[in-house]
Amino acid sequence: MPMYLCAFVPLFRTLIFGLLNMASVDYKMLDEGKLKLAITGRLDAKATSRLWPQVVGKLAQTQPQILVVDAGGIEYCDAAGMALLLHLKHTQQSSDARIQINDLRSEFEQLMRLFDPGKVSEPERKRGSFARFAENVGRTTTELLEDIRTQISFTGEIFVKLLDTLIHPGSLRVGDTFLIAEKSGADAVGITALLGFLIGLILAFQSAVAMRKFGAEIFVVDLVTISLLRELGPLLTAFVLASRSGSAFAAELGTMKVNEEIDALTTMGLDPVRFLAVPRVIAAVCVTPLLTMFNNLFGLVGCGLVMICIGFTPVAVVNQIQQAAGTGDLFGGLAKTLVFGVLIAGIGCLRGLQTGTGASAVGDSATRAVVSGIIAIVIADGFFAVLYFYLGI
């Protein structure tokens, strides 16, 4: 035999063996409502894909009360064949009918027991869009209310432990408090001063364009001064601290939570809130008014620079600043910063202590700290606005 024909001999042998052992199914109605299926050959993936629609179609056509499967002729059965037999079993069970699988080899019976998931539950009926929308709204509302409750509870805990620290000052970690104050305050002077200078500059330029129509450019100083001292200075400083220090607090405590250092503190009998959160809250409360003063100062410098450029003397600008605002405006704005500092540090520490597991847990905590802190600052500023209105401040 030529050599090139010898290479095709195994292929011909495989094809002939496959044709001779190809699986087949015979159908026979025994009695009324009783169907017999006789399966013979190799019930592999290829044969099963060919027989599946035939068997399922015959079953749907006859709808027998009793299905008898003669499996004595099955020479080979893989996972696909098991899937066909299990599908027949579950189809009969779902229609309250019976099935008998006879003469199945012991190794195939063992395989079927491994594959059989038991009673298959019906898939849940797909709910309407309104039901899904209502469920999502309810779940989001519940999570939001639970988060608010947690923040209020944590704020109360912080307040109680701050009072206890004032009564027992020796329990405060002074060194760590000064270090945190340096990172949160001294290191943030540059960005705070730059932001205040640019805000004062921009406000003065924008206001001067409108005031020029009325010949009242000098009152630009009044507008910028009151806006900075009462509102923009404290608010922008709080935003900077929430983005810079609040996220840092959450990341630091979150990393400790992931590394199980928080659990170690608890095991050693140390309160994580007193040990970690209280120094950060005290540091934030102390540095926030100071940073606000820098913001206000450089904002007025930016405003004064614009006023000098459009023709006013420095003495006129300083006199107008003194007439525009008093100590009540200054201290009214600084009073807000004390609350803002507590919110920034408290929420940052809370998000850090709530850090979960996983590679993105610390980043998620830092993001939540910034978002929650900014929202809390705006809400608190709204309360102050209403309070100052009724107090006539």
| Domain spans, the chain | 3-115, 150-391
Q: How far apart are the C-alpha atoms of 110 and 115, rounded to whole Å?
A: 9
**Contact yes or no for 345/246 (Cβ under 8 A):** yes
Q: How far apart are the C-alpha atoms of 244 and 180, rounded to whole Å?
A: 12
- Which residues have CB under 8 Å from 356's CB, separation 6+? 364
Q: What number is the average pLDDT over the span 111-120?
A: 66
CA angle, residues 95, 99, 105, in degrees to nearest 5: 145
Q: How far apart are the C-alpha atoms of 103 and 37, rounded to whole Å?
A: 12
What's the pLDDT band for 288 if we cut at 50, 70, 90? Answer: very high
Whether the per-residue pLDDT at 171 is higher than 60: the answer is yes
Return the pLDDT at 115: 67
Which tokens is 214 given?
């009325």
- Average pLDDT value over all residues in the chain: 83
In the chain, DSSP assigns E strands to: 24-31, 34-43, 66-77, 98-102
From the candidate CATH numbers 3.30.750.24, 3.30.565.10, 3.40.30.10, 3.40.50.2300, the one assigned to the domain spanning 3-115: 3.30.750.24
Q: What number is the average pLDDT over the span 257-284?
A: 87
CA atoms within 13 A on the CB side of 234: 27
DSSP-assigned states of every residue in 153-171: HHHHHHHHHHHHHHHSGGG
Q: What number is the average pLDDT over the span 117-136?
A: 70
Which tokens is 194 given?
């730059």
Strand order in the sheet with 66-77: 24-31, 34-43, 66-77, 98-102
- Which residues have CB under 8 Å from 42's CB, separation 6+? 18, 21, 22, 23, 75, 76
- Buried b / exposed e along 343-352 (16+ C-beta atoms within 10 A): bbbbbbbbbb
- Residue 311, by phi and psi: left (phi above 0), alpha (psi -120 to 50) or beta? left
Q: How far apart are the C-alpha atoms of 247 and 347, rounded to whole Å?
A: 9
More confident residue, 75 or 223: 223
What's the pLDDT band for 6 if we cut at 50, 70, 90? Answer: very low
pLDDT tens, residue by residue, 57-103: 887 887 788 888 887 778 888 778 778 888 888 877 777 788 888 87
